[in-house]
Amino acid sequence: MFFESDSKSNWYHVFCKGLIRHFNFSIRQINHFYLRANSASYNLISKVVNGSSWSEKNGQFILYTFFLPFMIALGENNIKTYQQFINGNASSDTLSIIADNQEFKRFIADMLDDKSKVNETSMIATKKIYDSIFSDKELKDNTIFISQKYYIDNPRYYKSLLINACNLLSPDAKLD
């Protein structure tokens, strides 16, 4: 289960702890971050999953386990950098926070036959996911493949869901 803290491969909680260390959050920021991240993740996942099976094999899992808490941490740390991120203008340094995270790399390594390529694949996957969701570049395909098993259909669909979740808005909210 996604929110169980004793789960063998609890990607979400370990990733969040890495973000807290990376941004050197104060106790107040940690509390605020966890309240927002857990609420946003739970509400968004319950809307998207809607009774279907949830699995680490689902490409959406990457968005809710890694990208959503990262976006919330980024907003907690620096609103200008968060705005650049959601507007498709994230720097390589910003994206490397995800790509260089040990838990994200461990997740990526589980997809690979050749574990020596985890660093390279981690950054490629991060940029591919980010660009397909947040950039204005035209997509060649309506599905992005992170690996042979992991893919995300209609990635642009998730931009407003992720942003609304970060702002603790309903997944049904329409912003024009």
Distance in angstroms (rounded) separating the CA atoms of residues 52 and 70? 25
- Residue 176 inside a domain? The answer is no
- Residue 2 inside a domain? The answer is no
4-8, 9-13, 70-74, 147-151: which is most confident = 70-74
User: Between these two residues, 154 and 147, which has the higher pLDDT value?
Assistant: 154
Instruction: Please report the pLDDT score of residue 152 as a whole number.
Output: 83
Distance in angstroms (rounded) separating the CA atoms of residues 97 and 2? 22
Residue 20 — φ and ψ, nearest 5°?
A: -60, -45
What is the secondary structure of 81-121 as a DSSP string? Answer: HHHHHHTT---HHHHHHHHT-HHHHHHHHTT-S-GGGHHHH
- Residue 150 inside a domain? The answer is yes
Give yes or no for residue 66 having a pLDDT over 50.
Answer: yes
- Residue 130 inside a domain? The answer is yes
Where in the sequence is the domain holding 111, given as residue range(s)? 11-166
- 137, burial (CB in 10 Å: exposed 0-12, middle 13-18, buried 19+): exposed
- Residue 125 inside a domain? The answer is yes
- Residue 50 inside a domain? The answer is yes
Candidates 157, 138, 149; CA nearest to 48 is 157
Q: What confidence tier does 53 reach under pLDDT thresholds 50, 70, 90?
A: very low
The total domain count for the chain is 1
- Residue 136 inside a domain? The answer is yes
Structure tokens at 173: 């909210």
- Residue 3 inside a domain? The answer is no
pTM: predicted TM-score of the whole model, two decimal places: 0.84
What's the distance, CA 65 to chain centroid? 5
Amino acid identity at 158:
Y
- 66, burial (CB in 10 Å: exposed 0-12, middle 13-18, buried 19+): buried
Give yes or no for residue 158 having a pLDDT over 90.
Answer: no
Give yes or no for residue 6 having a pLDDT over 80.
Answer: no
